[in-house]
Amino acid sequence: MTLATIANTAFAQFSEFEGNGNSPYTIVGENNTLQIGGRTSAYYEYRALKSGEDNKDHNGWGLKDMDLDVLGKTKSKFVYEFHMSIVDLATAAATQNTANSANPGIKAAYLAYNGWPVHIKLGYDKLPYSQGSIIDVYATPFWSHANLYGGDLFSRRDFGLTLSGTINNHIVLYGGGYSGMGENYFEYGTDRSGTMEYVGRVEYVSANMKYRAIDEEGSPIPIYRIGLNARYMDKTQPAGKTQTYGGSDPTADGFAANYGDAQGIYGMRIFDGKRTIYGGDFIVKYKGFSLVFEEDLIKMQPTSPLDPLYQGTSESVNGGVINAGGFCASAHYNCEPIKSAFSVQYENVNVNDLAPGHQEWLFIGYAYKVSRFNSVFKAEYSYPMVEDQASNPLKYTGQIRVGYQIVF
């Protein structure tokens, strides 16, 4: 297989609808091909509340997806994609919030050129970091990504420039520079620092592999992917704009006042200071079985000693550094004779080593595939084995989601 063919496969596999076995509506012209696909899904959710809790607003129906994806290719090797979630855009408009890290209204908007050995992509799409983030959850029995790489700790998408290529059919390289604002790029644009987040990833693949957790192909021999990746940004704000950061004035001209919701629920997706993330992952598939593992380590260095991430500790205690991260492991079995897929997943996450506690989760999923994952019944049970009272206090002891998904 040629370098150009391998690189094109590697570059395209971030697309949720590219090469996944779907049959989208396709328009073929003399010099262009246009594919139109989409997805809709809904589920019923039930939470077992703790004693004393009586708010059951999470018990009921939920519309998970209503997506439209347009993917175009030209004879001259240009590729473009626009993927939007109608339900998430409507939700954002109703709440006056244009971005949600787990469910962004815009999922892809980019132009790429695949005519050279090094491929170029400019625009908004998934970042080449974290196998768990890149793998789309719709092609598993689960209804959402793990907490480790679901978007609360670091962004999954951003606007910027991505370069990619392949060496000797086995080593795949990705690198790029991005706004650092993640899914909030369309809301805020670039922050006052004017600096980028830099992301790089290197993979070794034993054979051509799609970014899918389930072995629907029933690989006759073991195939695997091993990945290492890192990302770094320095979002130190201009002098004079952060002196009141961490104070009690909600109108302060600091990072939190200007880009508050971009920080995420833990305040670590982006902040006034430096952040470095390292990660490693692997997946192996064999005869319907697959094992997936990922670990991510996060080092944060906020500029202000009053930054909430320091949890009120002194510099003599924290050393000007906050550490976070965790790991996630999952096992899957695809049984085609009964059109079923079974999954179990465990994760252990600490979002701040200066705050007491951590969180551990167990997820169990089942999928009955009427037509692969294009028409599928999915059921998921999530159980918080260890609750992080300091960073993520819960009001429930378990959650069940049962629903149906259609991909066209």
Supply the pTM of this predicted model.
0.90
Q: What is the pLDDT of residues 9-67, one digit of tens each?
A: 334 445 554 444 444 577 777 778 999 999 999 999 999 999 999 999 999 999 999 99
Contact between 17 and 173 (Cβ < 8 Å): no
For residue 182, being part of any structural domain is answered with yes
Q: What is the pLDDT of residues 284-309, one digit of tens each?
A: 999 999 999 999 999 999 999 999 99
Which range of residues forms the domain containing residue 361?
40-62+119-407
Can you name the residues that pair with 365 across neighbouring β-strands?
Answer: 343, 380
For residue 161, being part of any structural domain is answered with yes
For residue 103, being part of any structural domain is answered with no
For residue 35, being part of any structural domain is answered with no
For residue 244, being part of any structural domain is answered with yes
- Mark out the alpha helices in 136-274 (DSSP H runs): 185-188, 255-259
For residue 278, being part of any structural domain is answered with yes
How does residue 166 score in pLDDT terms, banded at 50, 70 and 90? very high
For residue 154, being part of any structural domain is answered with yes
Read off the CATH number of the domain in which 370 is found.
2.40.160
- The count of C-alpha atoms lying within 13 angstroms of the C-alpha of 117, restricted to the half-sphere facing its C-beta, is 8
For residue 13, being part of any structural domain is answered with no
Q: How far is CA 170 from the centre of its chain?
A: 24
Domain count within the chain: 1
